[in-house]
């Protein structure tokens, strides 16, 4: 029985797991979830009460939370890329950077974008300002501590990079990198050139019209038509 990923093509957290699946090479079925439909949301919440996406199913087992999903994939369906390194120190670093990108890039970015879904008169300026400040802090932290080798934990693409790619993709639209973030900018370019990341972006492209900051999307992400394998 194939892995099932309940997902939506615009969700940064869904991209995180999709990138891991594309890196891993395991077969899976992708199911798009419309949480805006009350009936579909009610049915979906029976799988896991939070009704959050993505949600992984594997041979009758329901696996929530993206970092756990990727660890499940790496443990039970180890593929061509070891997303959790075997070396204990490197494994700890992969988990640490995964938390950094989720908690300090993905989350404030998400809070900022959520405000854009409100009428302009109802947006909370304190939330907007705090989100931008947290992103700026995160950029500086990443710039100062990023591994000088190609990926977040060295030579190998890991869980940390799966988290970094979608969080930085959307965060750079909310708050572009400054000239002082040279290492971060170079890392971002490597991420965007990764075939698994390009594939996730390509699959999301038809849905970018629904993204609230679509006017800020760089033209290269709207125009590229590449296939990534």
Tell me, what CATH number does 54's domain have? Answer: 3.40.30.10
Q: What CATH number should be reported for the domain holding residue 204?
A: 1.20.1050.10
- Token pair recorded at residue 5: 């990923």
Based on the fold, state whether residues 93 and 36 are members of the same structural domain. no
Rounded Cα gap, residues 73 and 61, in angstroms: 12
Which among 76, 96, 117 is the end of a domain? Answer: 76
* CA separation for the pair 223, 207 (Å, rounded): 13
Residue 17 falls within a domain, yes or no? yes
- CA 201 – CA 220 distance, rounded (Å): 11
Q: Is 11 left (phi over 0), alpha (psi -120 to 50) or beta?
A: beta
- The three-class DSSP label of residue 58 is strand
Residues 18 and 92 in one domain: no
Burial zone of 193 (CB within 10 Å; 0-12 exposed, 13-18 middle, 19+ buried)? exposed
CA proximity to 74, closest of 158, 12, 6, 155: 158
Exposure pattern of 86-99 as b/e (b: 16+ CB <10 Å)?
eeeebbebbbebbe
pTM recorded for the entire structure:
0.94
Return per-residue pLDDT of the chain as tens, 229 residues.
589 999 999 999 999 999 999 999 999 999 999 888 898 899 999 999 999 999 999 998 999 999 999 999 999 998 888 999 999 999 999 999 999 999 999 999 999 999 999 999 999 999 999 999 999 999 999 999 998 999 999 999 999 999 999 999 999 999 999 999 999 999 999 999 999 999 999 999 999 999 999 999 999 999 864 444 4
């Amino acid at each position: 029985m194939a892995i099932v990923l309940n997902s939506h093509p615009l969700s940064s957290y869904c991209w995180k797991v999709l990138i891991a699946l594309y890196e891993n090479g395991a077969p899976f079925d992708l199911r798009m979830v419309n949480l805006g439909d009350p009936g579909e949301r009610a049915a979906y919440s029976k799988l896991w009460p939070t009704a959050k996406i993505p949600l992984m199913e594997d041979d009758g087992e329901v696996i929530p939370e993206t970092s756990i999903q990727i660890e499940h994939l790496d443990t039970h369906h180890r593929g061509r890329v070891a997303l959790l390194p075997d070396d204990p120190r490197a494994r700890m670093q992969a988990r640490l950077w995964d938390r950094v990108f989720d908690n300090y890039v993905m989350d404030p970015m998400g809070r900022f974008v959520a405000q854009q879904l409100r009428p302009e008169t109802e947006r909370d300026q304190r939330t907007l300002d705090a989100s931008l400040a947290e992103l700026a802090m995160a950029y500086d932290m990443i710039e100062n501590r990023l591994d000088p080798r190609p990926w977040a934990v060295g030579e190998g693409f890991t869980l940390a990079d799966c988290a970094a790619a979608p969080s930085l993709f959307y965060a750079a639209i909310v708050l572009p990198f400054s000239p002082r973030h040279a290492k971060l900018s170079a890392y971002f370019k490597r991420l965007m050139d990764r075939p698994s990341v390009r594939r996730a972006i390509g699959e999301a492209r038809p849905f970018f019209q629904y993204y609230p900051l679509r006017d800020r999307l760089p033209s290269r992400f709207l125009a590229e038509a590449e296939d990534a394998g």
